[in-house]
Amino acid sequence: MDTLNPYIFRAYDVRGKVGRDITPPVFELVGRAYGTLVSRRGGRTVALGMDNRISSTELKAAFGAGVLSTGVDVVDIGVNHTPLLYFAAAHWGLDGGATVTGSHNPVSDNGVKMVHAGAAPLTEDEIQGLLASIRTGDFERGSGRSTARDPREDYLGAITGHVRLARRLKVVVDAGNGIAGAFAPEPIRVNGMPHALITSGSRDPATPVAGSRRVAAQLGGRYLPAEGFHALYLQGNRCVREHAHRYLTTGQLPPPTASC
């Protein structure tokens, strides 16, 4: 096992430097400890997601494997922002949830936020309890089942069902390279706001500007360079939005023959 730094067990989450403190073996242990906590509270199923950091994919897989090893089922919600994880856990009536995310911290960091049923956060004592379980090897044993489900449609419906604008607005959203860049356009569009400037939501801050130019030119969007970041005007039909969403979340460019 990698050396376990006790200081990654914070007041509200588990978080530290990737490769030094935060590694897949460490996250598998954290997943086992969290699954044990859920199981001993009578829980059976939790949601699991991640942000768009490059390190999140491996860490999420390791954390999920740890949870499954305790007999707790996992509902994989894919790439998400943290509020979407909270929504999925509460809206679907699950027994908890976790999302691998470094939050507002630099790309060199990553972590995991964990909740109980109803999206109630773990207490500081419970997070320290995870550390204690790891140190003593006190884990439940079992074979959980993993399934996948996308909460975005339910989430968007909940937002648009509660928000009604008195007038149409022109909105600008600067998400940097954060995951919000992949989720903000749709509720803005549904609420009747015709323009949304979304900075790159790609996984890698080094995503080449040329990629944004190509997406914009090929699909009829608008590319706007400014102060070192790159952006896309996400407007148009469903085809445009789907290709832009794929690029912003994965960096995958549309095929050369794609058109909208």
**More reliable by pLDDT, 125 or 221:** 125
Token pair, residue 88, equals 């999925």
pLDDT given at position 178: 73
Count structural domains, the chain.
2
Strand 109-116, strand 96-100: pairing: antiparallel
**End-to-end Cα spacing for the chain:** 50
Which of 169-183, 212-226, 227-241, 245-259 is predicted with the least confidence, judged by mean pLDDT? 227-241
Domain match, 177 and 114 both: no
Of 55, 103, 133, 212, the active-site residue reads 103
Does position 167 have pLDDT exceeding 80, yes or no? no
Domain match, 179 and 71 both: no
Q: Does a structural domain hold residue 220?
A: yes
| Report for 152-156, 196-200, 215-219: range of highest mean pLDDT | 152-156
Does position 203 have pLDDT exceeding 70, yes or no? no
pLDDT given at position 180: 75
Domain match, 22 and 130 both: yes
CA 148-150-153 angle, to 5 degrees, is 160
CA 180-47-107 angle, to 5 degrees, is 40
Q: How far apart are CA 205 and CA 54, in angstroms?
A: 10
Q: Does a structural domain hold residue 256?
A: no
Confidence of residue 245 (pLDDT cuts 50, 70, 90): low
What percent of the chain is modeled with pLDDT above 90?
55
Which of 55-69, 101-115, 223-237 is predicted with the least confidence, judged by mean pLDDT? 223-237
Domain match, 22 and 142 both: yes
SS3 label, residue 42: coil
Domain match, 119 and 167 both: no
Q: Does a structural domain hold residue 52?
A: yes
Confidence of residue 186 (pLDDT cuts 50, 70, 90): confident
Domain match, 134 and 34 both: yes
Q: Does a structural domain hold residue 1?
A: no
Q: Does a structural domain hold residue 202?
A: yes
Q: Does a structural domain hold residue 155?
A: no
Token pair, residue 253, equals 């460019």
Which of 86-90, 127-131, 158-162 is predicted with the least confidence, judged by mean pLDDT? 158-162
Q: How far apart are CA 192 and CA 173, in angstroms?
A: 15
**More reliable by pLDDT, 185 or 179:** 179
Task: Name the residue with tokens 């952006």.
Answer: 231
Q: Does a structural domain hold residue 257?
A: no
Which of 85-89, 133-137, 243-247 is predicted with the least confidence, judged by mean pLDDT? 243-247
Could you report the per-residue pLDDT of 16-46, keeping only the tens digit for each?
A: 999 999 999 999 999 999 999 999 999 999 9
Given CA atoms 113, 117, 118, 120 in this order, what sign does their dihedral have? negative
Could you report the per-residue pLDDT of 96-131, keeping only the tens digit for each?
A: 999 999 988 888 999 999 999 999 999 999 999 999
Active site residue 259: no
Boundaries of domain holding 27: 6-150
Domain match, 140 and 211 both: no
Token pair, residue 247, equals 């690029």
pTM score, whole prediction: 0.77
Domain match, 53 and 123 both: yes
